[in-house]
Structure 1
Amino acid sequence: MISFDEAVMLVADAASPVGREQVPLAAAHGRVLAEAVRARVDAPPGDVSAMDGYAVRDGDLAALPARLRLIGESLAGRGFGHPVGAGECVRIFTGAPVPAGADRIVIQEVVTRQGETACFTETPGVARHIRGRGSDFAVGDILLEPGRLLDARALVAAAGADLDQLEVFRRPRVAILATGDELVPPGTAAGQAEALPESVSFGIAALTADWGGAVALRRRLRDDLEDMRKAAAEALASADLVVVTGGASVGERDFAKAMFEKLDLVFAKVAIKPGKPVWLGRAAGRLVMGLPGNPTSAMVTARVLLAPLLARMTGRNPAEALRWRSMPLAGQLGPCGGRETFVRAASDRDLAQPLSNQDSSAQKTLAHADLLLRRPAGAPAAVAGEIVEALDF
């Protein structure tokens, strides 16, 4: 049995991006860049006004008050097109090209109009209110590095660079196999003695999508080794990663590993609570991760081990999935046992409130947990106000 930190390192070493593809800019949200975004244009493409006002020659304001003849206007996308001479000015709007000869924008609030004459009475300040050509970025500048998640802000930059196609990492295809004789489809368990609604695969599918994967297959399997082997073969043929839930103990009908022929294990158990039976291996050139069958155990281990695995497969740094931060406790915690423990908690303003039911099968509590608190093995009891490591759950 290995430590959690060792498991995280092995996950990062085992996984790699699964390929690249070109996608239209409009379809790139949530994808991960495989190639740097370089600007094809200068931004702005020329000197432009940063304010609504008047474009003037600085020398014409040396003596105040000054009266300048208004010779035209400059609009965004439709500049004035002629130079500004001595004693002249141009009405200008934000984003509009600055006419040749002008070297300052005077904001409209301090200018008085008298027909075709503009009157200036106040001394200009230091700000010239001109955005110089290429002051944001120039042709060839790198705006986004490979590995960047394409969120809303990144898409603005990519579009501003004048790109309509982006090179991104392919989404890993994930097959999810939920095992257990006791599991039945949600909506059918009522009235069936000993039947449980199969819930974990829905959570794993959602987490897979959250971390950039695409669910290629999701199956519920009874504990029949022959049928499970057929399902495993189908999953390996259709996916880059197979996730198995349940069947990870040592019972006679726990076939989560036996269903894969020639399974090479990367690790078999991790010294964490909940989720000790989590495992990672390779079969037929594909990665296979086994998660516990209990809902909370499965979702905790998925968050701390499957999420960084998916991050790596999508081209991101796995560390992005494990951004721990320090938070003060809102309540007390008991001493930690012999395994590193992830305590389910709820955020309460800037505090972490441990939840009362920490059972590995608790689903109601799971729904209210938005934090995991990391507790080292053997940690003593903690009281309200103490600082703990927290991860968004």
Structure 2
Amino acid sequence: MTCGASITFDEAVAVLQREAQPLGVETTQLSTAGRRVLAEAVHARIDAPRYSAAAMDGFAVSAAESAGGACRVLGASYPGEPWLGRLKAGEAVRIMTGAAAPAGACRIIPLELVEENSGILSLPQVWPAKSHIRHKGCDIKIGQIMLAAGTLLDPRALLVAAAADVATVQTWRRPIVSVLASGDELVSPGKATELDYTIPDSLSEAILLLSRQYGAKPGSAALVADTRNAILAAAETMMSDCDVLVLIGGASRGDRDFAKAGLRPLGLDVRFSDVAMKPGKPVWYGRIGAKHIIGLPGNPTAALTTARLILAPLLRALEGRDLRSALNWQAMPLKNCPELIATRESFLCGTIEDGSVEILKSQSASSQLMLARANVLVRVPANQPTCAAGSVINALKF
């Protein structure tokens, strides 16, 4: 399918939803599985607790004891070093939190409720309401599903996986993203002061970082001239070790915009070309076999905006998560009252202040300094009249 006509942003996202399937499954050591997505559920290999255990520091006593009585203290039970006897009437064992409760124990009396003198324990006049014993398997049982497939292994989920006593988990492979920037005027940061009529490539590392934030592994980055042959040669080499190739620049219809043309000899199949959005209308997406190709405009704000809106959800889907998790729009009050009328749907840079969103002034696709302040994108429908301060708009974490 090749499509050269403009589509809406929502239609572009629907294309990505159809095209992006999780990559292959791999076995991952738990020590390196953080921020990965489970391809298979995690089942418990042990009970938790593995044995009935003390929930408080105190003394274990048997059911035969009466409130207000006294017991002989026979020994102590510690985590990993239990007291292995069986409690009988008139006996108690000092016990620490997490230690195995002795056989015959029915409750733990907290330390602060009792007195011990010369090995004799005076019991309280009234039993505590709780037994303070965590019984075997009360939290987790062997074979229980601990984490479902599709779970992101954040710190909480990683703790649960470790509690299941698994050393490895089955995860979706992380997509590898490489970035190819084209532009005769572009040089590596730090070089522009040495060469007239050049500007630093401010986008490549930013796009790789954004990719990493949305689940990808950074691949290679290259900077080439604005020619078909240069783009073709670099792309052919880079595609051998990436799943997603991001082209920066050459996306429009200028005399030297060769991004799509440079890749056609490799079998590029464009799935959408041009999106009715501002900024970033020239953004495009296609496939070369199993590889995903995204073309971003060269203007910095336009490129980073479309990367956040198009590349980020694509990566989420490829890593096994719901694509929509990257597009979590939130309704928020608008602080200022800018002129918002545009013939295309707009995604404007804003900042959150005091619980409301302020749309930054002087929105420009080529702006760079504005991005230092912007932390949200504000979605404004096409032909939207001026919004009054206090009205509700949709904002997305940038």
TM-score range, shorter chain: over 0.9
Cα shift at 1:384: 3.0
TM-aligned CA distance change 1:270 to 1:101, over 3 Å: same
Write the distance in 2 (CA, Å) between the matches of 1:333 and 1:21: 50
What is the letter of the counterpart of residue 275 of structure 2?
V
**Using the alignment, how far apart are the partners of 2:226 and 2:36 within structure 1?**
37
Contact 1:278-1:290 at 8 Å conserved across structures: yes
- 1:296 aligns with 301
Match of 1:6 in 2: 11
Whole-angstrom distance in 2 between the partners of 1:105 and 1:42: 21
Shift of 1:51: 0.8
Which of 153, 156, 159 lines up with 1:153 in the alignment?
156
CA RMSD across the alignment: 1.5
Shift of 1:59: 4.3
**Structure 2 counterpart of 1:78:** 81
Q: Tell me the matched-pair count.
A: 391
Question: 1:280 Cα shift?
Answer: 0.6
Note the alpha carbon deviations across 1:207-250, whole angstroms, 9 max, x for none: 11111212222111111111211112112222211110111111
After TM superposition, the score normalised by the length of structure 2 is 0.94
AA paired with 1:56?
A: V
Is 1:142 paired with 2:115?
no
Give the Cα separation in 2 of the matches to 1:382 and 1:105: 64
TM superposition shift of 1:121: 2.5
1:92 corresponds, among 90, 95, 107, to: 95
Match for residue 104 of structure 2 among 101, 104, 108: 101
Instruction: Tell me what 1:193 maps to.
Output: 196
Distance in 2 between residues matched to 1:131 and 1:340, nearest whole Å: 57
Q: Does 1:249 align with 2:239?
A: no
Amino acid at match of 1:29: G
Give per-residue Cα distances to partners, 1:112-133, cap 9 Å, x unaligned. 1112111123412322111121
Cα separation, 2, equivalents of 1:49 and 1:357:
64
Give the 3-state SS of the residue equivalent to 1:133 in structure 2: coil
CA distance in 1, matches of 2:33, 2:197: 45
Report if the CA contact (8 A) 2:71-2:120 is conserved: yes
Residue 352, structure 1, aligned to residue 357, structure 2? yes
**2:173 equivalent in structure 1:** 170
Q: Which residue is equivalent to 1:52? A: 57
Cα deviation for residue 166 of structure 1 reads 1.6
Give the secondary-structure state (helix, strand or coil) at the position aligned to 1:219.
Answer: strand
Q: Are 1:322 and 2:327 matched, yes or no? A: yes
Report the identity percentage. 42
Which AA in structure 1 matches 2:345?
Answer: E
Q: For residue 327 of structure 1, give the secondary structure of its aligned residue in structure 2.
A: strand
Distance 2:153 2:9 in 1: 29
Unaligned runs of 5+ in 1: none
What are the ranges of 5 or more consecutive residues in structure 2 without an aligned counterpart?
Answer: 1-5
Find the aligned partners of 1:333 and 1:129 in 2 and give their Cα distance: 61
1:126 lines up with 2:123 in the alignment? no
With normalisation by structure 1, the TM-score equals: 0.96
Letter in 1 for 2:339: G
Separation in 2 of the partners of 1:330 and 1:95? 53
Alignment counterpart, residue 44 of structure 2, candidates 39, 42, 51: 39
> Which 4+ stretches in 1 moved above 6 angstroms?
none
Per-residue deviation, residues 72-126 of structure 1 (Å, max 9, x unmatched): 1111111111111112111111111111111111111111111211112341232
